[in-house]
Amino acid sequence: MEKAEKRSVLHMLDPMAHVSPFDINMAVDAGFDLVFPSDNVQLDQVNGLVQDAIFSRGPSGVKRTGIFIGGRDIGVALNMLEAAQKAMVPPFVVSVLSDPSGAFTTAAALVACVERQLKSRHGDELKGAQAVVFGGTGPVGIATAVIASLAGADVTIVDPFNIDHALDKANEYNERCGSSIVGTYASSDADKARLLAQADVIFCTAKAGVQVLNASVLSDATQLKVAGDVNAVPPLGIEGIKRSHDGEPLLHAVNSPGAVGIGALAVGDIKYKLQHALLGSLLTSETPLYLDFRRAFEEARRLV
């Protein structure tokens, strides 16, 4: 009698006190039979946990095993992804996806959606575009900035209060990821207007429920083409962009004819499909995958 195929297993490693219920639900919907969350995982524990997971399943079992790395700090998540990859011992090798706070899939979806509108509405590329990321020192903001920079945009990340924090983050991820991000701050509408004056693209990844750019500030943009906002909690981050917008005119950018907006639901639709696809690929790929923001952006571009 033929032996039944082993059930698929996903081990979720998270340095925080709780593994995100969102990520657990996504893993189940992506087709994993069993999902095991492990919280409060430290970097020096990753090697042992990964090897426990791979050695216990045998050559056929590792093909039905995946590892997901969460948390809230993208630097920690990248370190854990690297540690997980180093822990593999062929032929006991499994695929790993890192997506802390959903930052990699959200950022990849945001940049891909903005890129699509930039091309379709204005015939332009990200390469050479002047891009500003408000809320740029948070996980989604940093990931957005790195992705856009590696795609060729000239990217400035904005901290609402502290220029040193922005500069430190820019330097840290430029060194780590090979990007060319510039850090600054904008604590007033005048600061924001100065940044918008030369912006082709705006990414708003600031804290939910906080309006970052009002109508008055948007009127100072003179060459704006596309603005994307991931905030789904009122008030939304950019005045005039609705959650459902996906290329609708940005009415308050009166001095940037043709400027369009992208809202949180449009970005969220691609983010959901993207995370589902990446989780599914952990089970279907013939060769081991080690997935971070780079692969997320490749897949997001395909999805849009």
pLDDT digits (tens, 9 = 90+) for 62-107: 999 999 999 999 999 999 999 999 999 999 999 999 999 999 999 9
Confidence of residue 5 (pLDDT cuts 50, 70, 90): confident
Q: What is the DSSP letter of 100?
A: G
The reported pLDDT for the residue numbered 1 is 34
Alpha helix ranges (H) inside the chain:
21-29, 46-55, 58-62, 74-86, 103-122, 139-150, 163-177, 189-196, 215-218, 264-284, 293-303
- The pTM assigned to this predicted structure is 0.96
The reported pLDDT for the residue numbered 2 is 40
C-alpha torsion 189→195→199→204, nearest 10? -60
Per DSSP, the residues of 5-63 read: PPPPEEEEE-SSSS--HHHHHHHHHTT-SEEEEE-S--GGGHHHHHHHHHHTTHHHHHT
Closest CA to 19 of 139, 81, 99, 85: 99
The full set of domains in the chain, from first to last, is: 9-98 (3.40.50.10280), 105-267 (3.40.50.720)
- Identify which has the larger pLDDT, 27 or 60: 27
Confidence of residue 226 (pLDDT cuts 50, 70, 90): very high
Please determine, for residue 169, whether its predicted confidence score (pLDDT) is greater than 90: yes
Confidence of residue 185 (pLDDT cuts 50, 70, 90): very high
Please determine, for residue 158, whether its predicted confidence score (pLDDT) is greater than 60: yes
184 vs 156: CA distance, rounded Å: 7
